[in-house]
Every structure is written in C-alpha cells, then in structure tokens.
Chains A and B, each alone.
Chain A
C-alpha cells in the first residue's frame, strides 16, 4: 500500500500516543485546526484537550513548558510550525533540553521531541525557508533526525518519541504529500528505525551521493538519468544528521572512490562541510580518486520569484554536473 509522508507521521504519533499515556503533543494549531500542515489531523478528536494542546503564538514560552514537562516525567512532542520559528525558542532547545543531562551528570533527563517542517518550501521567501540541520547538528546532547520517505518518517518518529533524549525531528513540507510504498513490516506498531543509521537507497559502484530529506529524491532522479549514460551512483539517505553515520559513508567511498554530498541548506559550515571533514580525517580519504565536493543551496537568503527560488536550491542538473565533474567525464 502507498502512504504519504504526512499520513506516516500522523499514524506514528497516533500509535505512540496510544501506547504511552505520558506522550502528548503541543504546538500552534495542532489540535482544533488539525495541524497547520494537517500532520496531526484527527488526533485532537481522538485524544482530546489533555493530550493535544493548542498553544498561543509564543514559541519560547511553550518550548520551555514542553522541556519542563519532559523534566517532570512526561514525554512531549513539541511542534514548531516551521523550524524557522524555533529560533525564538532555540535557547530552550539547546540550553534547557540538550545540555541538561550532562550538566546534571545524569540526574535529569529530557525525553522530548521537537518536530516540524524544515528547509525550503515553495514561494515562502527568506524568513520561512531556512534549513536548520547544521545549526542543531552542531550541538552535543541533541539527536537530530531528517527523514526522507514515509517509511523513514514513521520509523524515525517512533524511535524519536521512544528515545529518552531530546530529538530534533526535521520534516519537509514539500515531502508531506509524497506517497511511498509501505510494506507490511513497516506498518507494524513496533516498527522502529534506529537513530544514527543511514540507509543505502540505491546501490552503485562509480560514485557515492550522500543526502538527507527531500534532496534524496533529487539524488535518485539524478542517478536514474546518469544510469542511462552508464554511471552508477550509490545513493545514501542519511536519515540521521546527528549522530552522523560516517561509517556507512566511508564504506561506500571505499567501494566507489568518489563522493558528492547534496543538501538544501547553505554551504558554509553545513552538513556537506561536516561530511567532507569526516572523510578527510578518516580511513576513506585514501580511497578517494578525486576531491569530495558539496552540492548545496546558494549562499543567499531565499528569494521569492519562482525563477530565482528555483535557482537557489540544487536541481537535478546541478547534481549531474557535479558528478560528472568529479568523475572527470
């Protein structure tokens, strides 16, 4: 059967709410509006005011409340309508949630999930299009997850909710409506995807493409085009930003000898930058036949006009171009 990413997220939350009474969801419009992007559709009707809580537009306040509730024994899912708004609350995410277990030397844990759409959407312009994977990925004490497919969304959200630590769960608005095949095994109530393990979505021998979230789709599309020219790409879906599954990437490079990372976010100090640094420092460096390169969003605030916006994020042709350059073909 096919399931959209949105429905996968919805079902995952529904099942986890049912499984554990301490789990609850709070955020703007999550209850009576059924979710700004309808991800929490039907949950308020089923679980009521106690467990699905509409908040005022006060991110710093409600994120802090969510963290406090987690400290006192509940398991909140705190939704940011988009991660752009998490900047208002970022102190609570980092200083109150991420660092507390360490500062208390293990006395105080914070089992919380911060979730919401991240990165570029369509036509929402600069203030609503930033990718926060690198910012959150920078911080010890956080787990940062970035699902691509419906299966990812389901398994990773369940794992995130069951995890006893703060998890930043980066969804993607443009992926919400995309349907994916979902096997029976994936549909089981205890289907979990481990946080910290990447997945090889497509096997290949010539070059490794590493990506996360929506860009995985573009990598697979680029790989399909390149395959017609005899270039076989291995496409790795990171699934988790932090902890980074460097081993999966290294193993792949030792096979393909070439690396291109693909992300929607800005280049400087970003996900690709981190992966390249890991590879430089690790055993896979000696297997590279060419410098590893990054395909990223353009280093500008996101413009509005469609032609400008389209040229601000990686396109399939950009991936193809970078692959050919790396392979010197």
Chain B
C-alpha cells in the first residue's frame, strides 16, 4: 500500500473540534506508545502521534421531562474510546449479520431477534455504567450479552444450540446470562419488574450499584411496567428504565400502538429524557447523567432511546410489510451509528481509514472463528437433559416420556 508523503491532517487543528489543553502531553504520551507499538504498525507510515488523541463533539440536546437540566451538550471522545466503541459496534453488527446467515441456513432455529442498527444503544449504555452495575433486557439481547462480558463464540454457540453456548445450549437466543446480566427475557415486559427487583437488591445491599432495565416501544404499554414505575418511584430504587424505541413493536408502528408515543414521559412522576439512540456519544452522556441521578439516591429515571432496527422483528419477519424499504435505506445512509462514529473519527483525524479497515478485518475473522466453533461444537449431551432444574439440590430422578424411563438430574 502506498505511503502518503504529506499526510494532509498533520499539525492542522482538527475539524469541528476544540483543541484539548493537555493535547501536548497526550501527544508525548502517544509518542512513547508509538515506540511500543511500532512493531504492531502494519500499513501506515503515519505514527499514532499524528492522530488527535481526544476531541469534543456537539451532541443533540435531549428532550426533558420533569428535569431542570439534562446531559451536557458536548461529549469528549478519546481516540482509544473511539476505536473501542467502533470495534465493539462492528463486532455486534457482524455477529448479528452472521446470525442472519446461519438462520437462513437453518443452523439457528426458533426465535432470532437481531439488533443491527441499534448498536449505539448497547455500547453507549455500557460506556456510561460499570460492569459492577446490573442490566436486564428483553429478547433482542445478543448485543447486551456481549457488552456484559459474553464472548462472540459462546453467544453464537448458544444460538446454534451447542454445548459450548453461554447457557450450554439450553437457553437459546432469548436466554443468555452473564454476571450482573439477567438476560435475555422472552415474555414482553416481564423483565421490567425483574430489573426493579435487581435495583431493590442493589439498594438493600448498599453497594452503590444500579440496574439498567430495558424494554421496547411495544412493551412500553404493558401494565406491569406502570406497576414497576410506581414501586420504583415510591421506594426510590436505583433503576434506569430505558425504552429502546425502534418505532415498531413487531409489525405495529408506535402510532398504532400507543396513545402517547412520548415514551420518555410515560413514567409520569419519573423524570425522563429522550435521547438520540443512533449517536453513541449521546447515549453515553445520557446514561452517565442517568446513573448519577440514581446513585445520588434520587430514585429511578427513564430514558427513551430513539433508534432503529434494520432487520424485521425477528428472522421470520422480512420487515417490509409494515414499513418501506426507502425508510430503512434512509436510516442506513443518514443515521447509521457505526458510520457516524467512523465519520467523526476520520474527519477529526482520530483514526485512519486503514486502521479502521484493519479492525474490520479482525472483527470479520473473530466472527468467522466464532461461527466455525458454533457450527462444529457438538450439541449438548443427552444426559444433560434433566440437569439444572434445582440449584444446590441432591441428585434426583426425573420422569422421562414413559413410566419406564427414569432420567437423572443433578444441580
């Protein structure tokens, strides 16, 4: 690959960003990093010291409900953060697309609800909380399993129902769990009271942790959610309710399902904010704001993330009978979260095209490896059939399909 002789961005102030006071120190820091990473540099003659280490971006103002102030209107993004967010979002994107492929090949069965388009939500939320916080969501959960510590391998192997799956193949798409991540829940809305219960435990145990409790625009009309708003508010539970509004509950648009589509206001007495869910920085800043609200003991808060899913509701839904292809295409071209981050970083000299391409290649490889594992790992052994009924229980017998078949069950 030809090396640029006169890198055009060198020493020019970054476009649309304000210079950071400590940029000199950062440049020195990055220079020493360069020495360490020279061995790693593959393609470009440009050293890391050429890149802007940090930039500040204007982000959309959030609509507020029962709040005097909202999240800041600017967000700082470091080069490292940017690359990490890019990598994670790209990993999610490619993982979901691979799942699409495997589903069409009938290697994944049953339900498969894909998240592509919504990456900024999952990554932005995680960037605003700690791994020691808690999170629960509904069935469109693969991305969250990743941000909460799952690996692509074990997620994909769960989708293909293999013993190496994160739930040993027994849960499937909608039932993946990691530490401080309570799934993956199949019953629409049921995860919301669960999340408030997790928040109750956080408050009870006094560890200054909180629970992020996600639901969609379809679930937002569920009665149990309003029951939960009431109790979370009464008891000041450290719970961030997040409505991922992707405009369609299955095939029903928000206008046809909700008398009020201002989901951020539906918590009534709970303060709320409406956030651009396609902009990862917006999501991150709003999440930080919300987390601060909860941790200061003010009780729950509600965030509506305006986002979009490229796929249909699930793999059995082509997703075009209730919306137009033009609409999907327009979102893809104008608001894609990964493109937005990429453009920001490139136009502010925070990364190079080659570098990002390299990440793409690495991600693709990771997904391929995971898919390879997921398609070759054996299915769970039959003697695992009846295990995991009870925790901490002596081994017991489980009736098989007929009276003579007695199967063994261990904890």
* A-to-B contact residues, CB < 8 Å: 24, 50, 53, 55-56, 58, 60-74, 91-92, 95-96, 100-109, 111, 140-141, 143, 164-165, 243, 281-282
Q: How large is the interface on B (under 10, 10 to 19, 20 to 34, 35 or more residues)?
A: 35 or more
**Residue in contact with B200 in the complex, picked from A69, A105, A111, CB distance below 8 Å:** A69
**Residue in contact with B227 in the complex, picked from A58, A102, A108, CB distance below 8 Å:** A58
Known: A68-B194, A107-B167. 9 other contacts (CB 8 A): A62-B231, A65-B197, A68-B199, A72-B201, A92-B190, A92-B194, A102-B388, A105-B168, A143-B390
Question: B37-45, B115-123, B179-187, B299-307: which lies at the A interface?
Answer: B179-187
Contact A60 B167 (CB under 8 A): no
For A72, the chain B residues whose CB sits under 8 A away are 134, 182, 197-198, 200-202, 211
For A73, the chain B residues whose CB sits under 8 A away are 201, 205
For A282, the chain B residues whose CB sits under 8 A away are 403
**Nearest A residue to B178, CB-CB:** A107
Given contacts A65-B193, A65-B231, A165-B391, contact A104 B175 (CB under 8 A): yes
- The interface bits of chain B over 277-311 (1 if a CB of A lies within 8 angstroms of the residue's CB, else 0) are 00000000000000000000000000000000000
**A103 CB → nearest B CB, Å:** 4
Contact B193 A108 (CB under 8 A): no
Q: Report if B12 contacts A (CB, 8 A).
A: no
**B320 CB → nearest A CB, Å:** 31
Contact B170 A102 (CB under 8 A): yes
Contact B197 A70 (CB under 8 A): yes
Nearest 4 interchain pairs by C-beta:
A68-B197, A64-B193, A61-B227, A72-B201
Given contacts A60-B193, A65-B231, contact A71 B187 (CB under 8 A): no
Q: Report if B261 contacts A (CB, 8 A).
A: no
Given contacts A56-B234, A91-B187, A165-B391, contact A68 B193 (CB under 8 A): yes
Contact A63 B198 (CB under 8 A): no
**B184 CB → nearest A CB, Å:** 8
For B186, the chain A residues whose CB sits under 8 A away are 95
Question: With A and B bound together, what is the CA distance between A238 and B206 in angstroms?
Answer: 41
Q: Report if B230 contacts A (CB, 8 A).
A: yes
**A71 CB → nearest B CB, Å:** 5
Q: Report if B393 contacts A (CB, 8 A).
A: yes
Q: Report if B389 contacts A (CB, 8 A).
A: yes
Given contacts A73-B205, A105-B168, A105-B170, contact A64 B197 (CB under 8 A): yes
Give 27 A-B contacts (CB < 8 Å), ordered by A residue. A24-B204, A58-B227, A58-B231, A60-B224, A60-B227, A62-B231, A64-B197, A64-B228, A65-B196, A65-B228, A67-B193, A68-B136, A68-B197, A68-B201, A71-B194, A71-B198, A72-B198, A95-B190, A96-B194, A101-B388, A102-B170, A106-B387, A108-B182, A108-B183, A109-B392, A143-B390, A165-B393
Contact B204 A68 (CB under 8 A): no
Most A Cβ at <10 Å: residue of B227, B396, B411: B227
**Residue in contact with B389 in the complex, picked from A65, A91, A102, CB distance below 8 Å:** A102
Q: Report if B251 contacts A (CB, 8 A).
A: no
Question: With A and B bound together, what is the CA distance between A58 and B177 in angstroms?
Answer: 27
For B234, the chain A residues whose CB sits under 8 A away are 56
Contact B185 A96 (CB under 8 A): yes
Question: With A and B bound together, what is the CA distance between A100 and B193 in angstroms?
Answer: 15
Q: Report if B223 contacts A (CB, 8 A).
A: yes
Q: Report if B249 contacts A (CB, 8 A).
A: no
Given contacts A60-B223, A103-B175, contact A65 B391 (CB under 8 A): no
Question: With A and B bound together, what is the CA distance between A1 and B197 in angstroms?
Answer: 40
Question: With A and B bound together, what is the CA distance between A102 and B169 in angstroms?
Answer: 11
**Residue in contact with B391 in the complex, picked from A74, A91, A92, A109, CB distance below 8 Å:** A109
Contact B190 A50 (CB under 8 A): no
Question: With A and B bound together, what is the CA distance between A58 and B196 in angstroms?
Answer: 14
Contact B388 A69 (CB under 8 A): no
Given contacts A50-B204, A72-B197, contact A101 B187 (CB under 8 A): no
**Residue in contact with A69 in the complex, picked from B204, B223, B396, CB distance below 8 Å:** B204
Given contacts A101-B388, A104-B175, A282-B403, contact A68 B196 (CB under 8 A): yes
Contact B197 A71 (CB under 8 A): yes
Contact A104 B183 (CB under 8 A): yes
For B198, the chain A residues whose CB sits under 8 A away are 68-69, 71-72
**A244 CB → nearest B CB, Å:** 10
For B396, the chain A residues whose CB sits under 8 A away are 243
Question: With A and B bound together, what is the CA distance between A165 and B190 in angstroms?
Answer: 19
For B392, the chain A residues whose CB sits under 8 A away are 109, 164-165
Most B Cβ at <10 Å: residue of A70, A72, A73: A72
Question: With A and B bound together, what is the CA distance between A64 and B85 in angstroms?
Answer: 33
Contact B389 A104 (CB under 8 A): no
Question: With A and B bound together, what is the CA distance between A92 and B185 in angstroms?
Answer: 11
For A60, the chain B residues whose CB sits under 8 A away are 193, 223-224, 227
- The interface bits of chain B over 154-184 (1 if a CB of A lies within 8 angstroms of the residue's CB, else 0) are 0000000000000111110001011000110
Contact B193 A61 (CB under 8 A): yes
Question: With A and B bound together, what is the CA distance between A100 and B183 in angstroms?
Answer: 10
Given contacts A62-B231, A104-B171, contact A71 B391 (CB under 8 A): no
Given contacts A71-B198, A107-B167, contact A64 B190 (CB under 8 A): yes
Q: Report if B195 contacts A (CB, 8 A).
A: yes
Question: With A and B bound together, what is the CA distance between A70 and B391 in angstroms?
Answer: 13
**Residue in contact with A62 in the complex, picked from B193, B204, B211, CB distance below 8 Å:** B193
Q: Report if B192 contacts A (CB, 8 A).
A: yes
**Nearest B residue to A111, CB-CB:** B391
Question: With A and B bound together, what is the CA distance between A102 and B381 in angstroms?
Answer: 15
Contact B403 A281 (CB under 8 A): yes
Question: With A and B bound together, what is the CA distance between A72 and B187 in angstroms?
Answer: 19
Question: With A and B bound together, what is the CA distance between A73 and B209 in angstroms?
Answer: 13
**B110 CB → nearest A CB, Å:** 13
Contact B190 A96 (CB under 8 A): yes
**Nearest A residue to B200, CB-CB:** A69
**A141 CB → nearest B CB, Å:** 6
**B236 CB → nearest A CB, Å:** 12
For B195, the chain A residues whose CB sits under 8 A away are 68
Contact A69 B228 (CB under 8 A): no
**A243 CB → nearest B CB, Å:** 7
Question: With A and B bound together, what is the CA distance between A60 and B222 in angstroms?
Answer: 11
Q: Which parts of B201-250 form the interface with A (CB within 8 Å)?
A: 201-202, 204-205, 211, 223-224, 227-228, 230-231, 234-235
Question: With A and B bound together, what is the CA distance between A102 and B183 in angstroms?
Answer: 13
Question: With A and B bound together, what is the CA distance between A95 and B194 in angstroms?
Answer: 12
For A95, the chain B residues whose CB sits under 8 A away are 186-187, 190
Question: With A and B bound together, what is the CA distance between A55 and B194 in angstroms?
Answer: 15
For A243, the chain B residues whose CB sits under 8 A away are 396
